[in-house]
Chains A and B, each alone.
Chain A
Amino acid sequence: MTDQDRAFVMFDGVQKSYDGETLVVKNLNLEIARGEFLTMLGPSGSGKTTCLMMLAGFEVATHGQINLGGRPINNIPPHKRGIGMVFQNYALFPHMTVAENLAFPLQVRRMSRAEVEEKVQRALDMVQMGGTEFAGRRPAQLSGGQQQRVALARALVFEPDLVLMDEPLGALDKQLREHMQYEIKHLHERLGVTVVYVTHDQSEALTMSDRIAVFNDGVIQQLATPEDLYERPENAFVAQFIGENNKLDGMVTAFADKEARVHLDGAEEIGALAVNCRGVGFPTMLSIRPERVLIAEPSAPNQLQGRVVELIYLGDHIRCRMEVAGRDDFIVKIPNSAKHSMLRVGETTPIGWLTNDCRALDAA
């Protein structure tokens, strides 16, 4: 892989401000490799859509440089960037048929009629809309899922190297959304096109992406693979935002190698993996995933007492809310297996975890 491929898209010190007083995007540095599926994930107002719009050319970066294929594109108008884009509400042209919508990017590139027809048909086949009944329909005559497929086909029909997607599945119902996630993922694998995908739905991001950039407050909090992001969150925001998380507040009392001793507010002291805590005497937030908590397992190195507050039966697992170290929102997922512990509300039981599963992060 050449340098150009490794940094096919590059944000270099990009800042964006709308009003001249506050920064929506603060010093963004990001490299996206050719063929990568990168998701920008974050709550609304975190600056992820602004980044996408700067890449597409609809917003101008206040400071910094954006490169595409090694070329700075700050001053190239959107129509010359050759970037395909899928919009939140699809933005299919309502006065054109499906075939005309797909032909539009080819016609403005002055392709011959035969070429246009062939490419439109191929693009429709690609999204399983190749049937003759669809090409002549208007967008309004299609279902939400079909409109989504057409929007996808339109963004891909002129064979761009880079496709941007701005919450494209937001308007679909849950089942269809999950189905389309796989389809987009497979399409990406088949075509090898670079995709930058914006969403606020973490499960969508985890399902589809090669790497995820978690945005908050105009800054990338963590840029990592889905697995790393979930297993090894680097700060409190990421730990809380991705997946379900138990947090315990405490104070660092000792610090050795990679392990920190933390004194909890509830007066117990336990060990945790020091990831992002500043040192002895500083507050920290401990993060433990609900499925990594061990119930009534005397071999676990870190032991606490938990009182069962609520039990919810969910079929494959039982969700147990407990009172631990003075907090009553501690969740434990107990798998519904043959040897699972029988708990009752009000009962107190020892809980524990491996030191590596408990991460000491910055105090949020």
Chain B
Amino acid sequence: MANGENVSGPILAADGRPLRQSLARALRLQKLRALMLIAPLLIFILVTFAAPIADMLFRSVENAIVPETLPLTVAALEDWDDASGQPPGEKVFAALRQDLLAAVAAKAHTKLGSRLNYEQTGVASLLRKTGRRVKRMEEDGDLAAQFAKIHKSWADPETWATIKRFSNAYTSGYFLNAVDAKLGATGIEARPENERIYIFLFERTLILSVVITVACLLIGYPVAFLLATLPMRTSNMLMILVLLPFWTSLLVRTSAWKVLLQQQGVINDTLVFLGIVGDGARLAMINNQTGTIIAMTHILLPFMILPLYSVMRTIPPSYMRAAKSLGATDWTAFWRVYFPQSVPGIGAGAILVFILAIGYYITPELVGGTSGTFISNRIAYHISSSLNWGLAAALGVILLVVVLVLYWLYDRIIGIDNVKLG
């Protein structure tokens, strides 16, 4: 057995090539075909989904507007010590004038103004005003004095410190802003208490999402149990009721909650009619956290019930019977035999509902008022109203990271293999 002796070497195919190589070659064509089949979808997703998201997230650190609009000033400022307490020298002002002349011609100075205004309020109007007058400046005169005459902020070293701090093409400013901090003269510092908002919003988003997930579980578990134990025909009928919300517009459902929950709404009117609450003490159930929790629990409930149902369907009834024949009461049989086997469904449902809830936007926007809005509402505000896309991107990145960290924790504690969707 000459072949049998040579066990340590690579196994050879009939033609003498290593078997592993031959196998790879044989499979290559297959892999290529598979790749070509998914290529259209892959390209579509890359172009319409992955690329825009990557571009958006990149904006959270991108700061090219400052060095691009004020290239000479940024270079000249390198020699200036921002801790000196003095405005920079004439050379810097000359560079600034040249940069601004170019920027005004390209109409770029107002954009720069809004960018720097995020870091120091007043810079936007400062640049607008200066932009209007920079053409009339005398090139040979005392530029520092002329600038100071346009606006006294040019004599303030703080203005120059801000420009210098944000002269890099990349900045941590948006991220610091997103966690209620800023880059001050002495490094990273917390914002004043009355300006802090985002950490609080993140906390509220997380807490409300947990509350909604737990509420969905408490309501959904018995429903899924019922669906899984009923005969197929009855359970299919009931399943339609569970799926009905999916076929109704999200806006319609949310608006329906408005009708039900508002102070002059159905529920309050009924309670007043029954004399349970006084007319003057109508319950505030909408435009606050209560409204968000109620409406979102209702909307996300199917995402809890469906995975639970599909897992429970696979648990044979003989387990419960076996437990009872062994002497367990109904409750013991459920708690020690049925429930542990339904945990993968709970895991799948909870993670689905939680991740959907944490990024939810429409419902909190419509029924959340001020105390029931989520971080996503703030992101939407920065995208569409304040146009501070950098900050919106930074908030989005943090939200994404939080979700990924929670997912990782979940995998470590419960194990993602234990999650079953059906």
CB within 8 Å of B: which residues of A? 56-58, 77-85, 87-89, 91-95, 104-105, 108-109, 154-155, 158, 164
Contacts and interface: CB of A to CB of B under 8 A. Distances in A.
B327 A85 contact: no
Ordered nearest first, which 5 A-B pairs have the shortest CB separation? A105-B326, A91-B322, A85-B325, A91-B318, A78-B324
Contacts of B323: 93, 104
Contact of A108 (B321, B332, B340): B332
23 contacts: A56-B325, A58-B321, A77-B324, A78-B321, A78-B324, A79-B324, A79-B325, A79-B327, A79-B328, A81-B325, A85-B321, A85-B325, A87-B318, A91-B316, A91-B319, A93-B322, A95-B341, A104-B326, A104-B328, A104-B336, A109-B327, A155-B325, A164-B325
B322 A82 contact: no
Contacts of A89: 316, 318
B325 A78 contact: yes
B21 interface: no
Nearest to A154: B326
B121 interface: no
B319 A105 contact: no
A79 B329 contact: yes
B337 interface: yes
Nearest to A100: B336
Interface in B306-336: 316, 318-319, 321-330, 332-333, 336
A67 to B, nearest CB: 18
A241 B340 CA distance: 44
Given A89-B316, A93-B337, A95-B341, A105 B321 contact: no
A94 B341 contact: yes
Nearest to B340: A95
B326 A108 contact: yes
Interface of B: 316, 318-319, 321-330, 332-333, 336-337, 340-341
Q: Which of B324, B326, B329, B336 has the most CB of A within 10 A?
A: B326
Nearest to B343: A95
A62 to B, nearest CB: 19
Contacts of A155: 325-326
Nearest to B337: A93
Nearest to A102: B326
Nearest to B320: A91
A105 B327 contact: yes
Given A78-B321, A155-B326, 12 more contacts: A79-B324, A79-B333, A84-B325, A85-B321, A91-B316, A91-B319, A93-B322, A93-B323, A94-B341, A104-B326, A108-B326, A108-B332
B331 to A, nearest CB: 10
A77 B319 CA distance: 16
Given A88-B318, A93-B319, A95-B341, A83 B328 contact: no
Given A93-B337, A95-B340, A104-B336, A83 B325 contact: yes
A109 B332 CA distance: 11
Given A108-B332, A109-B327, A85 B322 contact: yes
A130 B337 CA distance: 24
Contacts of B337: 93
B339 to A, nearest CB: 10
B231 to A, nearest CB: 12
Nearest to B336: A104
Q: Which of B319, B322, B324, B330 has the most CB of A within 10 A?
A: B322
Nearest to B338: A93
A12 B61 CA distance: 84
B388 to A, nearest CB: 51
B316 A158 contact: no
A351 B326 CA distance: 57
Nearest to A77: B324
Contact of B321 (A82, A91, A95, A109): A91
A93 B333 CA distance: 11
B316 A82 contact: no
Contacts of A78: 321, 324-325
A63 B326 CA distance: 26
Contacts of B322: 85, 87, 91-93
B148 to A, nearest CB: 77
A108 B327 contact: yes
A163 to B, nearest CB: 10
A52 to B, nearest CB: 11
Nearest to B328: A108
Contacts of A56: 321, 325
A164 to B, nearest CB: 8
Nearest to A84: B325
Contacts of B327: 79-80, 82, 105, 108-109, 158
A91 B325 CA distance: 11
A164 B325 CA distance: 10
Q: Which of A79, A80, A82, A84 has the most CB of B within 10 A?
A: A79
Contacts of A109: 327
A87 B336 contact: no
Contacts of B325: 56-57, 78-79, 81, 83-85, 155, 164
Contacts of B330: 79
Contacts of A88: 318
A158 B321 contact: no
A158 B326 contact: yes
A142 B341 CA distance: 19
Contacts of A77: 324
A354 B365 CA distance: 95
Nearest to B326: A105
Nearest to A95: B340
Contacts of A93: 319, 322-323, 337
